[in-house]
């Protein structure tokens, strides 16, 4: 109920009662009373009664209306208080602007957002817009104009200057709350302010993480791809893909925290080097990429990149030398798309690693062809294992004194459906590199043990069976337990098995190698070092290993006794073995002269084409 309706109601009730009283009170008195003097007296009383009754009626009507107003005011006050609680609870600053007088009213929360207090505020700030960041003024002014002209609310974000000088991000919402009844001209506009600085910081952090590496602050892969999409690179671009050599060893030696500090130092040096040369990004881990539009300068720039690493880094008081390999691919010469450019640069990088690291390699089409070949080979190897296309051959090992067969070495062959019978040299290197050697190695072990068990049961073979063990296979944690279990399943004593390990495994991780070999020795297996002399064995450490036999590599045997150098090496190996009480086997014996030389120098056992070629099991037993 508004004031006008309330007032009309009171007047209406009073007028109705008055008219009824005037029309009917005199007639009633005249009907019952004929005495004029009495009638005059009663009319006096009637007037007094009218005044009292109408006064009471007016009092009641006014009291009822007043109570109704009080109730409405109480509800409004409660709602206002509730709204203030909500605004305070939400951390909102409230503002109200009179569009006619341009007077602004704000609450304490609004003031606190920009570091002001009402009690210390000297006078009124006439132009609150002067506190808005210059770059944001146009957006908020446009929002307010739109709200005033279209009767729609707005939400806009802008920065306001804090009392101490820093900028505060504000989310402002507002709307016109009062217009002129006739013209529709805005009279009042009000709204709220919310401090969204923390949210903005979080958004900036998320945006930064999406496009930059958090450790080095360099652009990441995502931003790099966006950079390459710029028209600037359409004519041509060189992509230099760098990977630090053996960085994992630094992490293992000093810890990942130290590794992070080193990566930061490397990135800082690269960034200084590439300031004007190109766009530098970190791809992750120890990989960096630089793109440059000066294609003809790519190779020189890559070498300059490597040159910059020759100066050692000082990290946490330690002097660290770092080397790297770089693969370079060019667009559009080497690739038709960005993805292909990345892939080809990565291919060139892997080629640099394969060739010995610490060098620059330019991509060639032959590299991709080689990758395709290796991928095809991987698939064929897996298929060969599933279809039982691998076969085992056995080469006799002959005692040089008695010329009796005292053992045999297991050698794997691949019966390829198109290329025929393939020697290990055609597929073992790739199997080692790809990890396929692990499942293939266990297939060889199981097949060889099963064959040996058959020979033993038939009384056909009493010697030792030598099985080559891949480094990646023997490094498995469960290797010793698995070997023991397989021997037990086939009923083979471990002493009948000689496990041949490479010289590189022996020296790769000396403590781990010694522990693994000792466990195998304790389980009863015989142990030999294959291709001895081709690696870099530490003689002082070799004497601590539980080795039974050294196998002289065929590369030293093939030119004996004509080559004095090879003869000297063989004599040294045999002398070393005698001093360490180890048995010696000569590999690759093809002539009688070689056999006689080895026997003369004290070699115990030999194998090679002079005695017999590797052969299938049925032929081996027939021989």
Task: In whole angstroms, give the CA distance from residue 325 to residue 192.
Answer: 58
Confidence of residue 124 (pLDDT cuts 50, 70, 90): very low
Q: Would you call 213 helix, strand, or coil by DSSP?
A: coil
For the chain, give the mean pLDDT: 87
% residues pLDDT > 70 (the chain): 90
Give pLDDT tens digits for 546-600.
889 999 999 999 999 999 999 999 999 999 899 889 999 999 999 999 999 999 9
pLDDT of residue 378: 94
Give pLDDT tens digits for 100-115.
888 888 888 888 888 8
Task: In whole angstroms, give the CA distance from residue 473 to residue 442.
Answer: 8
Inform me whether the pLDDT recorded for 230 exceeds 90.
no
Tokens of 489: 């399943």
Is this structure's pTM higher than 0.85?
no
**Non-local CB neighbours of 455 within 8 Å, separated by 6+ positions:** 461, 617, 621
pLDDT of residue 531: 77
Extract long-range pairs of 148-156: CB within 8 Å, 24+ residues apart: 148/99, 148/176, 148/186, 148/189, 151/176, 151/179, 153/191
Give pLDDT tens digits for 67-111.
877 877 777 777 766 656 655 555 688 788 888 888 888 888 888
Q: How many CB atoms lie within 10 A of CB 91?
A: 13
Q: Which helix (H) or strand (E) holds 576?
A: helix 564-579
Which letter does DSSP use for residue 535 in this model? S
Order of strands, edge to edge, in the sheet holding 104-106?
A: 104-106, 92-98, 186-195, 167-179, 154-161
pLDDT of residue 44: 73
Q: Would you call 401 helix, strand, or coil by DSSP?
A: coil
pLDDT of residue 232: 72
Give pLDDT tens digits for 328-339.
999 999 998 889
Q: Which residue has the tokens 């208080």?
A: 81
Task: In whole angstroms, give the CA distance from residue 527 to residue 544.
Answer: 13
Which letter does DSSP use for residue 615 in this model? B
* Residue 218: Cβ-neighbour burial (10 angstroms; 0-12, 13-18, 19+): buried
pLDDT of residue 1: 47
The greatest distance separating any two alpha carbons of the chain, rounded to the nearest whole angstrom, comes to 176
Tokens of 461: 């073979």
Lowest mean pLDDT among 180-189, 520-529, 539-548: 539-548
Inform me whether the pLDDT recorded for 154 exceeds 80.
yes
CB 424 within 8 A of CB 482: no
Lowest mean pLDDT among 3-17, 151-165, 561-575, 594-608: 3-17
Give pLDDT tens digits for 485-504.
999 999 999 999 999 998 77
Q: Which helix (H) or strand (E) holds 170?
A: strand 167-179
Q: Which helix (H) or strand (E) holds 466?
A: strand 464-468
Confidence of residue 358 (pLDDT cuts 50, 70, 90): very high
**Non-local CB neighbours of 305 within 8 Å, separated by 6+ positions:** 240, 242, 270, 273, 290, 324, 326
């Amino acid at each position: 109920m508004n004031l006008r309706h309330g007032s009309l109601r009171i007047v209406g009730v009073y007028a109705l009662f008055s008219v009824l009283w005037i029309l009917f009170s005199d007639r009633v008195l005249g009907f019952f009373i004929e005495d004029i003097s009495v009638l005059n007296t009663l009319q006096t009383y009637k007037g007094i009664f009218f005044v009292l009754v109408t006064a009471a009626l007016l009092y009641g009507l006014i009291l009822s209306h007043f109570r109704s107003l009080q109730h409405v005011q109480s509800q409004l006050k409660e709602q206002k208080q509730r709204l203030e609680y909500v605004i305070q609870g939400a951390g909102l600053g409230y503002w109200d602007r009179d569009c006619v007088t341009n007077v602004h009213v704000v609450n304490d929360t609004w003031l606190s957002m920009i570091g002001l207090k009402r009690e210390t505020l000297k006078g009124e700030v006439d132009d609150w817009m002067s506190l808005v960041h210059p770059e944001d003024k146009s957006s908020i002014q446009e929002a307010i104009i739109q709200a005033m002209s279209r009767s729609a609310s707005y939400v806009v974000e802008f920065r306001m200057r804090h009392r101490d000088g820093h900028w505060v991000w504000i989310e402002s919402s507002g709307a016109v709350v009062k217009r002129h009844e006739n013209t529709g001209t805005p009279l009042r506009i009000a709204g709220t302010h919310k401090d969204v600085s923390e949210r903005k910081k979080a958004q900036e952090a998320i945006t930064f993480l999406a496009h930059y590496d958090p450790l080095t602050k360099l652009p990441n892969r995502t931003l790099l791809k966006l950079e390459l999409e710029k028209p600037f690179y359409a004519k041509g671009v060189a992509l230099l893909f760098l990977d630090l050599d053996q960085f994992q060893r630094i992490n293992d030696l000093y810890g990942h925290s130290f590794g992070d500090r080193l990566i930061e130092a490397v990135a800082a040096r690269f960034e200084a080097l590439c300031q004007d040369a190109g766009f530098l990004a970190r791809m992750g881990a120890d990989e960096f990429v630089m793109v440059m539009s000066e294609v003809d300068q790519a190779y020189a720039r890559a070498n300059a990149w490597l040159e910059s690493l020759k100066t050692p880094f000082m990290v946490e008081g330690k002097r660290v030398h770092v080397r790297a390999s770089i693969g370079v691919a060019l667009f559009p010469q080497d690739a038709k798309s960005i993805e292909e450019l990345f892939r080809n640069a990565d291919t060139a990088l892997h080629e640099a690693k394969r060739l010995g690291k610490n060098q620059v390699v330019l991509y060639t089409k032959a590299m991709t062809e080689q990758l395709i070949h290796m991928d095809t080979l991987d698939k064929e190897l897996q298929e060969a294992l599933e279809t039982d296309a691998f076969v085992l051959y056995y080469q006799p090992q002959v005692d040089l004194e008695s010329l009796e067969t005292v053992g045999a070495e297991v050698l794997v062959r691949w019966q390829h459906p198109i290329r025929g019978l393939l020697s290990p040299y055609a597929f073992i290197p790739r199997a080692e590199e790809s990890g396929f050697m692990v499942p293939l190695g266990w297939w060889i072990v199981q097949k060889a043990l099963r064959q040996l068990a058959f020979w033993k049961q038939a009384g056909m073979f009493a010697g030792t069976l030598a099985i080559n063990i891949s480094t990646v296979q023997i490094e498995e944690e469960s290797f010793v337990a698995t070997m023991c279990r397989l021997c037990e399943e086939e009923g083979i004593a471990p002493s009948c098995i000689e496990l041949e390990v490479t010289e590189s495994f022996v020296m790769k991780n000396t403590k781990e190698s010694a522990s693994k070999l000792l466990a195998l020795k304790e389980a009863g297996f015989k142990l030999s070092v294959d291709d001895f002399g081709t690696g870099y064995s530490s003689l002082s450490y070799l004497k601590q290993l539980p080795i039974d036999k050294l196998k002289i590599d065929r590369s030293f045997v093939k030119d004996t006794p004509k080559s004095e150098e090879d003869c000297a090496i063989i004599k040294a190996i045999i002398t070393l073995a005698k001093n360490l009480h180890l048995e010696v086997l000569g590999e690759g014996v093809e002539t009688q002269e070689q056999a006689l030389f080895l026997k003369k120098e004290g070699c115990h056992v030999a194998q090679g084409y002079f005695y017999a070629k590797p052969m299938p099991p049925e032929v081996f037993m027939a021989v």
